[in-house]
Amino acid sequence: MIEPRDVPSPDAGAGQTEDADGRRTLAWRALLAWYAAEGRASLPWRHTRDPYAVLVSEVMLQQTQVDRVLPKYRAFLDQFPTLDDLAAAPVADVIRAWAGLGYNMRAIRLHEIARQAVERYGGTLPGSLDKLLELKGIGRYTAGAVACFAFGLPVATVDTNIRRVLWRVFRGVEPYVWPADTAFQRQMLALAEWALPPDGAYDWQQALMDLGATVCLARRPLCERCPLAANCAAYQEAARVSLFPSGEAVARLRDERAALDASHDASRDASHTRETGDEAAPSARKVAERRAGYAAQTPRASRAPAQPFTTTSRYFRGRVVATLREMPSSATLSLAELGPRLKPEYTAAEYPWLRALVERLARDGLVRLTGNLEDASAAHVALP
């Protein structure tokens, strides 16, 4: 199994480097052969190298499933065929075109990227990673994806699928909760760069994403169908503790470790309380990848109950934008009228909450506020 220390570093010994390089070469061959036969070649963004079309697909695919993106991708490009068309469009039209994709701030960011591309580069996207990263609204993943998938550059990038597959293949069973610190992000990017084949970066990274989306699943990997099982560090870990290694065994091993970690955290916190008399703050963890409908084996007492989505700020932000999308382009809505549309039980006493919600949307560029905000009937909101 390739441990973290086995990925070559500048001071790696010859034997260590050769072992890791050999495993990497086997992974290249097996995964690229699988991709040629099983890859999702029908996805429309796999049939273009237009940087703008690639950018649109990558922004849409952030946090949104492929099935939801497919109909919106072509419709969006039909409405805004070029960066110039998108930059010239009213923001309200872009937000309306984004309906059904969620995370509406992505529409604002995409519109802003188009405006910058027109102002700086005459309506084209720059063809280097560094220049792409200079555009406000483009992060390292999106810049790397455009550089590789549109311009053919050998640039590594890491999304949730790529991270999970690379970690399992070259490091072992993944953590139940991914670290969110900058050092870990750098570590993952270094692993992705090391794993990138000298030729075929496009196919390799598309293959990693396809494998993560269809076989090397977050909840329970389908190891029996995986072309990398024989070369996978996580599968080998499961084989050492199970007579019948499988994706279920990999998932169980991950969850058992999470339960053990939670038990250690609880014991440590209890010890801290006994020794100092102070309540220890629970360990802060950021879940980077949702495991919907999956009850982990982590002790129940260690998990805070999830807040119902329909009570969250994100839910009501989306409701505001959806309500305004349904109105004619020139229409506005008073906040007094908006409240009952968001919550049937809304009362005037909740106006401070509603006002704060809409003001945050306005700061983000998703809505436009006019009138006297001290008076719910005199304050109006519309798409920008």
Q: What is the CA radius of gyration of the chain?
A: 24
Query: What secondary structure letter does DSSP report for 347?
Result: -
DSSP H stretches of helix in the chain: 14-38, 51-61, 66-79, 83-88, 91-97, 105-121, 129-133, 140-149, 160-170, 182-195, 201-214, 233-241, 247-276, 313-325, 335-342, 351-363
Q: Are 384 and 368 in contact (CB under 8 A)?
A: yes
What is the rounded (10 degree) CA torsion for 205, 209, 214, 219?
A: 130
Q: Is 58 a catalytic residue?
A: yes
Q: Indicate the SS3 state at residue 39.
A: coil
Q: Indicate the SS3 state at residue 381.
A: strand
Q: How far is the C-alpha of 331 from the C-alpha of 50, rounded, in Å?
A: 36
Token code pair at residue 115: 């405006």
Q: Indicate the SS3 state at residue 371.
A: strand
> Comparing C-alpha atoms, which of 49, 89, 9 is closest to residue 206?
49
Q: Indicate the SS3 state at residue 46.
A: helix
29 HSE (CA, 13 A, CB side)? 8
- Residue 82 CA: distances (Å) to CA of 54, 56, 233, 306: 12, 10, 44, 42
List 18, 58, 174, 374, catalytic entry: 58
User: Side chain identity at 251, as an amino acid letter?
Assistant: A
Q: Are strands 368-371 and 333-334 parallel, antiparallel or unpaired?
A: unpaired
Q: How far is the C-alpha of 211 from the C-alpha of 35, rounded, in Å?
A: 8
| Residues with a known catalytic role | 58
